[in-house]
Amino acid sequence: MKTALIIGATGNFGFQMALTLLNRGWQLKILIRDKDKCPGALAAADIIEGSANDSEAVLNAAHGCALIVYAANPKYHRWQQEALAMLEPTIAAAKVSGARILLPGNVYNYSPQPQWVNELTQQLPYSKKGEIRVEMEQRLKQASQHGVKTTIIRAGDFIGPNTHFTWLNMALRTKGKQSKLSMPHDQTHKHFWSYLPDLCTNAAQLVESSEATFELWHDVGLQLTTQEWVTALQQNGQTVKQSKFPWLALTFASLFSPMLKEVIKMRYLWQEPLVLNGEKMKEKLGSKQEETQIADIVKAILVK
């Protein structure tokens, strides 16, 4: 039985990836700063107290592992100061242990564009955060040339039944059969989303069948307008009331919050198109690829 180390199990991707691997028969180790904050659903795992920044802790935790899920992030307003250095202990541990690193990528690496973005599209980031993500991936690719196996699976904004602090958590409020929807974009914009249970199942399959030292995959995901959300909610028996997203209030609050200031800088992703092309993943996984429809996704979110 293979063992995976999860770094960042309290985050959305880390938690769902841990659940997915457990369901697929993997043994788990969880590296977490505070054992008391480990999600109860992961109680069967080997819980190890330690930090992603601690080289010795990561190295010891990675011993005997075939996979390291690197799902940790600094605080949103601390990326520039901490993100690259925070990755180094995982790279060092993977080199010693022989484990493959699984990194959830995002769309920050690219500028908005009308064409779908595939794995060969040139990475020309629009934001400083995008520059940092490009540097992280370049560092992993460099490490792969020295034997560090890496899989990057790039995704859109996360949605799913087990998420917290996501854009959808802010945009959708439900009470009984009443839903209030305040999408951060206008009625014509198609935004790119990734359903976490599908993403993580597909990621697990890709890792389990990996062939190359460095692999990059784009999620198939969903590109959705506001109306498509409304229709999916109505198909699940919801009465939907729409309202404007509170960008003005967030912009004012950002004057006093470094984190919100960084959030506002990424608003362009809600104004211009940026959609991933997941054909490479589709071709690889074939009929085994998970691709849940939006009405069923909304059902899962509503019954969480």
Tell me phi and psi for residue 117, to 5 degrees.
-100, 120
> Rounded CA gap, 206 and 286, in Å?
12
DSSP assignment of 49-111, as one string? Answer: E--TT-HHHHHHHHTT-SEEEE-----GGGHHHHHHHHHHHHHHHHHHH-PEEEEEE-GGGS-
CB atoms within 10 A of CB 111: 17
pLDDT score, position 284 = 97
Point out which residues pair with 67 in neighbouring strands: 4, 100
Which residues lie below 8 Å from residue 89, measured CB to CB, with a gap of 6+? Answer: 52, 53, 54, 55, 57, 58, 59
Q: What is the pTM of this model?
A: 0.96
> Rounded CA gap, 125 and 269, in Å?
12
- The sheet carrying 157-159 orders its strands as 157-159, 191-195, 222-224
pLDDT score, position 1 = 74
pLDDT score, position 133 = 98
pLDDT in tens, the chain (304 residues): 799 999 999 999 999 999 999 999 999 999 999 999 999 999 889 999 999 999 999 999 999 999 999 999 999 999 999 999 999 999 999 999 999 999 999 999 999 999 999 999 999 999 999 999 999 999 999 999 999 999 999 999 999 998 999 999 999 999 999 999 999 999 999 999 999 999 999 999 999 999 999 999 999 999 999 999 999 999 999 999 999 999 999 999 999 999 999 999 999 999 999 999 999 999 999 999 999 999 999 999 998 6
For 220-264, the pLDDT digits (tens) are 999 999 999 999 999 999 999 999 999 999 999 999 999 999 999
